[in-house]
Structure 1
């Protein structure tokens, strides 16, 4: 949780600072050129962090009723404040769920994500910062948990078209789902929440690093692309 104060948006100077920080400092301007918007199914769309005008356009064109923000509640962030303000203005429900792209999902976060899917009014737009890793995790979980698709048939974690780099440390998301799919094959009644709770997280992280992770991919993902 950040110790920074909530963003002010009262005076003209407040608004100039908020927009400058949002677009330049927090790099939201990059999504003007590539929003990474994709249709998952008739009920769900995924994207990177939309600007306020992009959000209004998507809501109008796709009939979006709920936005699920996978970056969590961030009142100190101008990007978050502008998104929340936009949703309030256009009458769209906004649900915040904080998901991590370089860590194994835990039971608590999966439950919060499941709750968001239950509480949402559809169609839904779901986004993180780049629309590649956390959004891929959440879209995969949605199709498995909400739509009942087998994990082997879900392809929401790909480099093309989403930009997800499996060989980077964000690939631990893929590894997590791959390991559960193996467990599910041997135990057809396995519950993903229970399995996640009992997971040997230290062992799984170690195995992933030994088998999957690439230094160059990490450098690209973390330093060049500056993924969260």
Structure 2
């Protein structure tokens, strides 16, 4: 119990203080929703050209701040709403992959906490756009990003969505 509590506290600090911000490669970054200070701070360093918000539109202040900061800094802001408890078909994941391919780089991908939906998008980016292995892409579903399907059972849907995408991609390659 102490171990789980300790991990929870660490993850909370990573998400709330640092925004769960990580570099995927020199063009793509992942995070949870960032407060206005963190968003401006990371933008100054990494000069995002696109933000993909997987949480979707919101009436909350963080969303308004994000939209304003995007507008002030000529950042393309895209809302692509996903829910972390839904297993998505390949049409949805293919749309997300195409969106990431077409987006101006550098790009920031985020959801609310940066743990589940962002892990799915990051894994899709690694696998489908960078053409890395499934094993390499699966590293995006790590506990240190806050992805904990053993504790939060419903979020396994993100892993399953990725598996469906990979299975379909393999079928498509075999048909060629």
Report if TM-score (shorter chain) is over 0.5: yes
> Is residue 2:129 matched to residue 1:146?
yes
Name which structure has the greater RCO, CA cutoff 8 Å, separation 6+: 2
Structure 1 residues 98 and 149, CA gap change in structure 2 (3 angstroms): same
Matched, 1:63 2:50: no
Offset of residue 148 of structure 1: 1.2
Q: Are 1:36 and 2:9 counterparts? A: no
1:59, 1:140 → 2: CA distance?
A: 23
Tell which structure's C-alpha radius of gyration is larger: 1
- Alignment CA distance shift 1:84-1:179 (3 Å): closer
> Where do residues 5-154 of structure 1 align in structure 2 (5 Å cutoff)?
31-74=15-58, 76-154=59-137
Q: Structure 2 unaligned runs (5+)? A: 1-12
Distance 1:179 1:108 in 2: 10
Q: Do the aligned partners of 2:93 and 2:165 also contact (CA within 8 Å) in 1? A: no
For 1:169, which of 126, 138, 154 is the aligned residue?
A: 154
Contact 1:97 1:112 in 2 (8 A): no
CA offset digits 1:130-158 (Å, max 9, x no partner): 00000000001111121111212221001
Contact preservation (8 Å) 1:133, 1:164: yes
Task: State the 1:122 CA deviation.
Answer: 0.6
Q: What root-mean-square deviation, in Å, do the aligned CA atoms of Structure 1 and Structure 2 show?
A: 2.4
Rounded to whole Å, the distance in 1 between the matches of 2:14 and 2:141 is 21
Deviations 1:37-88 (A, max 9, x none): 11111111101100112111111111211111111233x3322111101110
2:77 counterpart SS class:
strand
5 Å-filtered alignment, 1:204-219, equals none
Unaligned segments of structure 1, at least 5 residues = 1-28, 192-228
Equivalences, count: 160
Distance 2:165 2:73 in 1: 39
Q: What TM-score do the two structures reach when normalised by structure 1?
A: 0.63
